[in-house]
Structure 1
Amino acid sequence: MFKKMFIAAALLAAAVSQAGAQEKAPFALDWKFEGPAAPYLIAIDKGYFGDEGLAVEISEGKGSLDAIPKVATGAFPFGLADINSLMRFLDQNPGAPVTAIMMIYDKPPFAVVGRKDMGIETPKDLEGKVLGAPPPDGAWAQFPIFAAENDLDMSKITVEPVGFPTREPMLAEGKVAAVTGYSFTSTLNVMRLGVPMEDQTVLLMSDYGVSLYGNAILVNTDYAAENPELVKGFVKAVAMGWKDAIADPAAAVKPLMSRNPAADEALETERLSLSIRDNVLTDWVKENGFGGIDADRMAKSIEQTKSVYEFVNEPDAALYFDSSYLPEEPFMLQ
């Protein structure tokens, strides 16, 4: 009897010791607890992060640029943010300890969402109209490239700075003719506010000449240098979360609903499904695996950024993406 109690106590002590050994790793999300956040919550609830020695706590974000300074200052070791905005941040803050290590949106969701009844059908239709754009929005950050690729006269477009909470309501109320945003965010939010999908025009920037990547996992490089195995474990857990989400999007949003009970479960399932279809599980990812980038395409995206942004320092892809924390055998999501 005593022996059994001793063994039980030893096992309990080992479990407590193992839990205590987990490294706290705050993760700065790009946006709210909506459909595309589900894979990271799955990784927490199913213990994928825990299995890698990480105690991950996820914080909501305020836009796809929001996480960059959080990670650069070391307040968060990990974040999710737009890699194109990261390029500009590092140009303006040379030597900042932050880089991308895992591509999430192989095809970015940057979009202009407009109303057909207000005359928005093509990019040119934006001229003479009011465009609502939140200043911290990743899609707005790339709008100059979209404008240049489609020969838009910016002097003919009235840009109305709007807040994220008011962006879709203003479009639904007809106060602006179009907004910049993520395709899976703005379209569904506007639909929920009474504008059917068939009455919306969705101009995906990637369909109109914008050859960029989207959001990526960021890491504080000082943290990564000290904890390389934990960083490798983090990206592994993220990949497992996305794989589960792809296998069953409806089940994937359950952890989301427990954090955001006011969310519409069906809507968030649709939002997650759209992000998987259009942004994550692309043809390139199906063939080459999840998380990496193509060097030639990255070079092209830098050149495209140079066409609308004057780099102070010579751009260097090695500063923006470090693939060394990804496995030699790529993550396959199906």
Structure 2
Amino acid sequence: MAQTHMAGRAGDLPVRFILNTFYSGPQAWFFLAQDRGYFAQEGLDVTFTEGTSLAKAVTTMTSGTFEAGYGDLNELVRMRAAGVSAAPVGVMAIHNRPPYTIAVARGGRIRTPGDLAGAKLVSHPQDAAWLLFPEFCRATGIDPDSVDITISSAPHTEMVAQMLAGEWDGIFGFVNTIAAQAIEAGVDARAALHHLTWIDHAPAFYGGALMVSRAFRAAQPRAVAGLCRAINRGLADTVADIDAAIAAVARRNPALDRAANRARLLGTLALEMGDEAARRGLGDVEDARLREIARLICEAKGYAKAPAPDDIFDRRFLVPPELRAKMANPGSGWGA
């Protein structure tokens, strides 16, 4: 796994940070904050490590190897419902809305969730959308056993072409990830793809969030607050200057397709981060939604006890509401 580390000052607190995936556009705020010295100003020496998925990042944090990470808030709820004591705690929500989708061919037979009966779908291992498919089925009245799912490690650039050629009926993933990698594959994502999104059909769910280990929260509360402040500044700077944000990613990943990742970042800001964030600033969650997520997960997966919101998310470290990053141009991203 690749790592990014800028030499810190003597005395700065080391923080090991697991990302959701390889360096890409929708992580730009972390790198912009690092390049502009915001972590250093908080006395933090942050090392970023590439991950393999938003959901897997939460599991990875249970090892004790990382103090902080960017993981799926819904997977955190699931782990606490399952009784995983080493699960981290969320301290700053970044996706206000779920990024998850099943992408299908536009103009094909699948237009609604009810059309998925008998479908053949494909997913990456540990893809958060696939992990939440039982909850999607419960929310939409689908029988999950009526769907055939293949697990593949092939990149979305290959999956999109194979799906459009008829090998599968749909692809699990994130709306903007699939759309951007379709662009990289030479496919017009808007013209070729239709999305069955969790936003439309299971809107209670959140997405990515800043998480810290419970041990780190207990031992270094000032550092946790500093992480939130630095990342909030990186988010605000990203909204203000998209090209500077993409340049920060490219410094870590020189082979980056800048056009595709710029589109992916803009889509993420609009789709997953463009509603509540535009009105009152990014970072907090609604306890009622956390309770609904816990209910859906417990019902779908058979867990006996739903975790309480304050066992999932600790808002004490957030910056004041008036200082929170706001999205300048809310919108619908790639659309359905």
TM-score normalised per structure 1? 0.89
RMSD over aligned Cα atoms: 1.8
Partner of 2:159: 170
Select which of 68, 72, 75 maps to 1:85.
75
Matched, 1:276 2:269: yes
Partner of 1:182: 174
SS in 1 for 2:55: coil
Q: Which amino acid aligns with 1:196?
A: D
Structure 1 residue 150 corresponds to structure 2 residue 140: yes
List aligned pairs for 1:103-114, cutoff 5 A.
103-114=93-104
Q: Output the CA distance in 2 between the equivalents of 1:206 and 1:302.
A: 17
Quick one: structure 1 residues 97 and 296, their matched pair in 2 at CA, closer, same or farther if it must change by over 3 Å? closer
Read off the aligned partner of 1:147 and give its amino acid letter: C
C-alpha contact (below 8 Å) 2:29/2:245 kept by paired residues? yes
Which has more helix, going by share of residues?
1
**Equivalence map 1:19-30=2 (5 Å):** 19-30=9-20
> Partners of 2:113 and 2:138 in 1: how far apart?
11
Alignment of 1:121-140 (within 5 A): 121-140=111-130
Q: What are the equivalent positions in structure 2 for 1:23-102 lying under 5 Å apart?
A: 23-96=13-86, 98-102=88-92
CA spacing shift, 1:167–1:82, aligned 2, 3 Å: same
Is residue 220 from structure 1 mapped to residue 210 from structure 2 by the alignment? no
1:261 counterpart = 2:250: no
Q: AA paired with 2:130?
A: W
Per-residue CA deviation, residues 120-164 of structure 1 (Å, 9 max, x unaligned), is: 32222322221002230111111112222222232331111112x
Work out which of the residue numbers 298, 301, 310 in structure 2 matches 1:309: 301
Structure 1 segments of 4+ aligned residues over 6 angstroms from their partners: none
Q: Evaluate the alpha carbon distance shift between residue 264 and residue 98 of structure 1 in structure 2; reply closer, same or farther with a 3 A threshold.
A: same
1:285 matched to which residue of 2? 277
Determine the C-alpha separation between the residues in 2 that align with 1:97 and 1:177: 35
Question: What is the CA distance between 1:277 and its match in structure 2?
Answer: 0.6
**CA separation in 2, counterparts of 1:178 and 1:218?**
31
Gaps of 5+ in 1: 1-17
Distance 1:244 1:270, change over 3 A: same
- Structure 2 letter corresponding to 1:199: A
Between the aligned partners of 1:182 and 1:205, the Cα distance in structure 2 is: 10
Sort the Cα spacing of 1:151 and 1:312 in 2 relative to 1 into closer, same or farther, 3 A. closer
Partner Cα distance (1:102, 1:310) in 2: 28
C-alpha separation in 2, matches of 1:215 and 1:250? 22
Structure 1 CA distance for aligned equivalents of residues 270 and 177 of structure 2? 14
The match for 1:202 is 195
- Pairing partner for 2:241 from 236, 248, 254: 248
Quote the Cα distance in structure 2 between the aligned partners of 1:120 and 1:196: 19
Find the counterpart in structure 2 of residue 3 from structure 1: none
Q: Distance in 1 between matches of 2:70 and 2:115?
A: 33
In the aligned structure 2, how far is the partner of 1:124 from the partner of 1:195?
26
Deviation of 1:195 (Å): 2.8
Q: Quick check: 1:146–1:210 contact (8 Å CA) kept in 2?
A: no
Q: What's the offset of the Cα at 1:307? A: 2.9
Supply the distance in 2 between the matched residues of 1:314 and 1:188 (Cα, whole angstroms). 36
| Residue pair 2:77, 2:293 contacting (<8 A) in 1 also | no
Q: Deviations over 1:236-284 (max 9, x none)?
A: 11111111111121221001111111111111111111110111232x2
Aligned to 1:13: none
Q: Which region of structure 1 is more displaced relative to structure 2, 231-240 or 132-141?
A: 132-141
Instruction: For 2:49, give the aligned amino acid.
Output: S
Distance 1:330 1:184 in 2: 29
Partner Cα distance (2:322, 2:213) in 1: 23
CA contact (8 A) 1:124 1:152 kept: yes
2:293 partner letter: S
